[in-house]
Structure 1
Amino acid sequence: MMLFSSFAHPWIVSVLLAMLSPEQQEELNQANSRFFQTSGPAGEDVSWSQEVRSNEDLKSFPKYINTNTWPRSSRGRKLKKSATQSRMHGVEIRRVDEPHPLAGQLGLFAARRFERFDILGEYCGEVYEGEGGSEYATYLEDRRKKYALGVDATREGNESRFINHFAGIAEAPNVIMQIAYVEEIPRVMIVCRKDIESGEEFLFKYSDEFSELYCS
């Protein structure tokens, strides 16, 4: 069951530079890091905050990655190295409150103004072949292909995994996923459908399967 799938002609993408100061962006990075795993003194994964443990939506803390994790092979390691990007800029992970329909869970919000067609960054996760994946999965290639590649952000991902479904929150989604090829590597890029003001929540239109399972 997949979140969302959208296909576009190959296009070269450059990630939008942040309009926040370096100090402001670093504060955002530190705040967002609370919701991901980090390495402790003994090499064990620990969380930045005990607060996130109450979030029932997260069965375990995801590992933060800034590009897709490809299957473990010499080709996979090369792809990961060449695709590495920086953190997502100008976004903030927040816990949402009443009357939000997902009160108590997490969402991704704009920390600055974004314009239509601005690119937030890449939807990152573990790359896999064929059917499968969790509610945090989407496709890098046409799912009808025999060996379609998917991206699952359950165990590894970045800030984009916290973008919620728009139903019950807004009349329409304000961001979409688009497939882009950069250096011949397919990536799922997140693009703004409209101008988004600081403080607004980023919202996807997930698949009908997701809506029936989680929003009915």
Structure 2
Amino acid sequence: MTPNTNNNNVSSQVPSHWPRHIHYLREPVYHSSVPEALRVFLLGPPNPKSAGLSTSRPPVAIRSISDTSHPAHGQYGLFATRKIPPHTRVIVYIGEIHCEDRPESDYDLSLYRSQDGVNVGVDASKMGNEARFINDYRGICAHPNAKFVDERNGETGRLEMGVWSGHQGIKKGEEILVSYGKGWWNART
């Protein structure tokens, strides 16, 4: 593991196979495009019980894809390091929270759309955590074994993009796969 100290939200412990040009985060970073009032809403009410919470690593590992039939052959994927029961929060998708249009990013997820039409995204193209390595299930298996869920974290109060296991759970050693959605694929064809 290599130290990375470019930001206060960057962890000093970087997981194996982490790209050197991507800042590893343990907490989201807020871009200047997020208005202060919206940032307060996204952060949620302070929870005194969240102080000193465990910062243990999620049950995942980044691994290279060596299977030549895999659509991401030669790249990386995210794999379960232990059995993950059904309907379990696996990891939070962490990156830069922003209110800009970023069509060039393959790592940008929609987090929230305000009533006045402001879109909030979380982009892990330049900074993020292990969740940025989750691949789409297409070409790998019949169905995803996990899904993205925008949710309010009960411990921190933050609005986050959680990754949850599906109804069958995820076996130890199995790749964690989601559906990127038709919109993601349509934007790239």
TM-score by length of 1: 0.64
**Alpha-carbon distance between aligned partners in 1 of 2:172 and 2:149, rounded to the nearest angstrom:** 23
Letter in structure 1 aligned against 2:4: T
Which residue pairs with 1:192 in the alignment?
Answer: 165
The one of 42, 47, 55 aligned to 1:86:
55
**Alpha-carbon distance between aligned partners in 2 of 1:207 and 1:143, rounded to the nearest angstrom:** 21
Unaligned runs of 5+ in 2: 7-13
Q: Which moved more, 1:62-71 or 1:156-165?
A: 62-71
Asked whether 1:68 is paired with 2:31, we answer: no
CA contact (8 A) 1:88 1:159 kept: no
Equivalent residue runs for 1:30-41 within 5 Å: 30=1, 38-39=4-5
**Alpha-carbon distance between aligned partners in 2 of 1:143 and 1:88, rounded to the nearest angstrom:** 32
Which residue pairs with 2:69 in the alignment?
Answer: 99
The one of 155, 161, 172 aligned to 2:132:
161
Q: How far does residue 100 in structure 1 lie from its aligned partner after superposition?
A: 1.8
**Alpha-carbon distance between aligned partners in 2 of 1:155 and 1:87, rounded to the nearest angstrom:** 23
Equivalent residue runs for 1:1-216 within 5 Å: 30=1, 38-39=4-5, 61-72=21-32, 79=43, 86=55, 88-97=57-66, 98-132=68-102, 134-142=105-113, 146-182=117-153, 183-193=156-166, 194-212=168-186
Alpha-carbon displacement from aligned partner over 1:19-54 (angstroms, at most 9, x marks no partner): xxxxxxxxxxx4xx6xxx7249xxxxxxx89x877x
Tell me how large the CA RMSD over aligned residues is: 3.5
- Seen in structure 2, the aligned counterparts of structure 1 residues 212 and 85 have a Cα distance that, compared at 3 Å, is farther
TM-score by length of 2: 0.73
**Alpha-carbon distance between aligned partners in 1 of 2:159 and 2:55, rounded to the nearest angstrom:** 17
Higher helix residue share? 1
Letter in structure 1 aligned against 2:24: Y
CA contact (8 A) 1:63 1:157 kept: yes
Q: How many residues were matched structurally?
A: 167
**Alpha-carbon distance between aligned partners in 2 of 1:126 and 1:213, rounded to the nearest angstrom:** 21
Letter in structure 1 aligned against 2:59: G
- Seen in structure 2, the aligned counterparts of structure 1 residues 132 and 211 have a Cα distance that, compared at 3 Å, is same
Q: How far does residue 99 in structure 1 lie from its aligned partner after superposition?
A: 2.7
Letter in structure 2 aligned against 1:185: R
* % same residue: 25
